[in-house]
Structure 1
Amino acid sequence: MARAFNTKVRHREFNPDDLILRKALHVAPNSRGKFSYKYDGPFVVKETFSGGAIILSDMERTENALPVNADALKKYYP
Structure 2
Amino acid sequence: MVLNAKNPKNYNYIRTLREWRAYKKMDKKAVAKALCVSESTYTRMENAPHKISIGNAVVLSKLFGCDMKEINFFE
Structure 1 length-normalised TM:
0.27
Query: Which is greater in Rg?
Result: 1
Q: Which has the higher strand share?
A: 1
TM-score by length of 2: 0.27
Relative contact order: is structure 1 or structure 2 higher (C-alpha 8 Å, sep ≥ 6)?
2
Name the one with the larger helix percent: 2
